Structure 1
Amino acid sequence: MTGHITKVVGFQILAALLVLVGVLQVLDLLDVTTEIVQRQLGPGGVAWYSLLRLPRLVEQSAPLAVLAGALFGFTRLARNSEVTAMRAAGMSGYRLTAMALPLAGAMMLAQLLMSTLVAPAADQTLARWWRDTAPAAQRAATEPRTFRIGTDIVVATPSPTGAERLDGVTIYRRTPDGQLIQTIAARTAVYRDGAWALAQPQVRTVAPGQVQTGSASELLWRTDLAPAEVEAIFSQTQISPGVAVAALEGAGSVRPRSYYQTQLQRFAADPIACVVMLLLAVPVALANFRSGRGGVTLVICLAAGLLFLVIDGVFTAIGESGLAPAWLAAWAAPVLFSAAGVSALLNLEG
């Protein structure tokens, strides 16, 4: 019995995942295929881009795949009166849910693996490949970026040679209360032996009533900023847990602390969405399709799953902007909708 439910629902979840990833992949390629062709990368470039984008698309599609697959699978079981036969044999809705939970757990682990390990590595590889294959004119048009390292403000331009070098670097050193005390301007900064070597730096030290200037052929800038953080700052890809932790520790950030705090909480909360989606789909299995209520239940469950995604996104945006604590923004929607799914199951079981 467990194997049959796993086979039916699991197949539907896998099919839904393939369809969703395929649709997202096609939409993504519609935006970039022209540029890939213009770069003369050919079909191999399209295939390589698609492969590098695949982990992120799997991560994004996992919760919806569980919702759609569970709805289709439970609908099939209910329409064929298989659930009725199971319940006549003494199976409760709780046991039915427990049998399907490992499927959501597997998707949850897959999503967690993608978001924390596979997707960040693929994003960095894609960013480097996209930068290295860009036309020379496009590389030269790169604009400088401003970011924070602790209390310091840094303005720099990414180098076409890689994340181990920055061009046009200006460092504004500040006190903890935001007072400017020194500026350092250098043509380039090259990362070696755990520090950045500033070429021909011009140093201006600000003191009460005076400004002292100085220069050198080279100056070592020791900071927690590493090439990995440089790639995250300039590539604009989704951040990894390591980058978020480094930003909170002062290694380099372009967003407020609340953004990185919320993202850290999201890394743990996002995979729970797969379990939430399964709980929201379970009422379909217990609905009476012969009385006509099954279709209504199916629509309500689908709407609940989509509403969960919307509410979850709203809470996340609120947390990233600092209007709510990070833990509340990340966990509010999963907890509320999990409670709603469990309440619905309890109500159906009488």
Structure 2
Amino acid sequence: MKIQLYILRTVGTRVLGAGLILFSILQILDLLEVTTDILDRGLGTAGVLYYAALRSPRLIEQVAPIATLAGGLLAFSQLARESAIIAMRATGISAYRIVGMALPVAFLVMALDFSCAQVVAPRTDPVLSDWWRATTPVAERKDPGPRSFRAGDDLVIAASASGDGRTLNAVKLYRRDKAGRLIERIEAPSAVYAHGGWTLIKPTTARFNGAQTTMTSAARLTWPSPLHRQDVQALFADAPVPSAATARRALLNGGGDRPVSFYETRFLSAFAGPFASLVMLLLSAPVALANFRSGQGAVLLSGGLAAGLIFLVVNGLLSALGEGGMLSPALAVWGGPVIFAALAAYALIALEG
């Protein structure tokens, strides 16, 4: 038990330290780009801190895998230099068991990564986007332009949306029959989301029956649509990052403006993404068996760092291919983690043997 606590403390503190350093660097670089704008808007130090707080979940998501790799390399190299690994193996503890003792650190990082990416960030991103848009000087504000997307069986065009996603402005709905022919067009100045459903305000409906067109108007019209206000926030965001919930709703005929392959890949990535931290820890584990007196340690340290960076590049490339429909979403999402975890296991087995 004491050995496990020692390994957990050694690996955990290094991962935490690496995470804090990397997070601070990313936060500083991010603030360097926006601090001048925030101060020019008269928001002061409070505005800078507010921006930094809202950006933190996305930065933690980016830092988590690299921090696990860096912390794992530092921790295992220290254990190897101090001959702690040799002493543990002399008592009958295998290298596999030593790595297993460090796995709770990776699981904790995975949980933090998933929470930030799928729970916290989807709530802070719209708040940050709305705050940034509201504090932009009127002369510098840019019209994001209309958005076109699918919502169930309807094709929708909306000029703009409120920050909370509850209002769509200048809405046009197009409905088609099973043969793909346009049968109905509805135009409304706005659509309001309340009590789990949408209502069109002062809609004008045009129904097409061959060469005949019938026009009707109403004060209000219920719009039965699976579109959720969070879908609207994602669709009208400056840099939308679909969460698992948003991607799932898009696959279930909710709001979407991308191919099905994009949302399938994003949905699977929400659950596969945190496993990058586990892969990073496995890639750093062979360093524990290195002989630093012979120079093997430097080779394995460099190899582990290079393997981790290559893994991030390959994983991103495969995800892009999956989103574009050129690769199966499951293969695109899980291919990188499985391949690199297998390579890490092979290296560990070879060194242990």
TM-score for the superposition, normalised by structure 2: 0.93
Report the counterpart of residue 48 of structure 1 in structure 2.
50
Aligned equivalents of 1:134, 1:333: Cα separation in 2: 41
Does the 8 A contact of 1:186 with 1:199 survive in 2? yes
Q: Secondary structure at the match of 1:104?
A: helix
Aligned equivalents of 2:298, 2:178: Cα separation in 1: 61
Verify: 1:158 aligned to 2:160, yes or no.
Answer: yes
Question: What 5-or-longer segments of structure 1 have no aligned partner?
Answer: none
Report the counterpart of residue 256 of structure 1 in structure 2.
259
Report the counterpart of residue 8 of structure 1 in structure 2.
10
What displacement does 1:272 show? Answer: 1.1
Q: How does 1:66-81 map to 2 (within 5 A)?
A: 66-81=68-83
Does the 8 A contact of 1:194 with 1:222 survive in 2? no
Report the counterpart of residue 39 of structure 1 in structure 2.
41
Report the counterpart of residue 332 of structure 2 in structure 1.
329
Higher mean alpha-carbon deviation, 82-91 vs 317-326, is at 82-91
Does the 8 A contact of 2:283 with 2:344 survive in 1? yes
Q: How does 1:1-350 map to 2 (within 5 A)?
A: 1-137=3-139, 141-160=143-162, 162-235=164-237, 236-350=239-353
Given residue 47 of structure 1, which amino acid in structure 2 is its aligned partner? L
Given residue 97 of structure 1, which amino acid in structure 2 is its aligned partner? V
What displacement does 1:210 show? Answer: 2.7
* 1:163-214, Cα deviation, whole Å (9 max, x unpaired): 2211111111123443221111111222233333323322222222333223
* 1:201-245, Cα deviation, whole Å (9 max, x unpaired): 222222223332232333222211122211111113322221111
Does the 8 A contact of 1:139 with 1:160 survive in 2? no
Aligned equivalents of 1:176, 1:248: Cα separation in 2: 19
What displacement does 1:139 show? Answer: 5.4
What displacement does 1:133 show? Answer: 2.7
Aligned equivalents of 1:181, 1:157: Cα separation in 2: 22
Aligned equivalents of 1:315, 1:93: Cα separation in 2: 31
Q: 1:297 to 1:136 in 2, by over 3 A?
A: same
Higher mean alpha-carbon deviation, 215-224 vs 301-310, is at 215-224
What displacement does 1:29 show? Answer: 1.5
Q: 1:175 to 1:325 in 2, by over 3 A?
A: farther
Aligned equivalents of 2:249, 2:184: Cα separation in 1: 24
Given residue 75 of structure 1, which amino acid in structure 2 is its aligned partner? S
TM-score for the superposition, normalised by structure 1: 0.94
What displacement does 1:292 show? Answer: 1.0
> What's the C-alpha RMSD, in Å, of the aligned pairs?
1.8
What displacement does 1:251 show? Answer: 1.7
* 1:229-288, Cα deviation, whole Å (9 max, x unpaired): 111111133222211111111121121111111111111111111111111111111011
Q: Secondary structure at the match of 1:141?
A: coil
Q: 1:192 to 1:138 in 2, by over 3 A?
A: farther
Aligned equivalents of 1:101, 1:194: Cα separation in 2: 42
Given residue 199 of structure 1, which amino acid in structure 2 is its aligned partner? I
Q: Secondary structure at the match of 1:290?
A: helix
Aligned equivalents of 1:282, 1:190: Cα separation in 2: 54
Question: What 5-or-longer segments of structure 2 have no aligned partner?
Answer: none
Q: Secondary structure at the match of 2:292?
A: coil
Given residue 217 of structure 2, which amino acid in structure 1 is its aligned partner? S
Does the 8 A contact of 2:171 with 2:187 survive in 1? yes
Aligned equivalents of 1:277, 1:347: Cα separation in 2: 18
Aligned equivalents of 1:112, 1:141: Cα separation in 2: 33
Given residue 282 of structure 1, which amino acid in structure 2 is its aligned partner? A
Does the 8 A contact of 1:6 with 1:103 survive in 2? yes
What displacement does 1:23 show? Answer: 1.3
Does the 8 A contact of 2:130 with 2:163 survive in 1? no
Higher mean alpha-carbon deviation, 132-141 vs 5-14, is at 132-141
Given residue 325 of structure 1, which amino acid in structure 2 is its aligned partner? S
Higher mean alpha-carbon deviation, 197-206 vs 294-303, is at 197-206
Does the 8 A contact of 2:251 with 2:263 survive in 1? yes
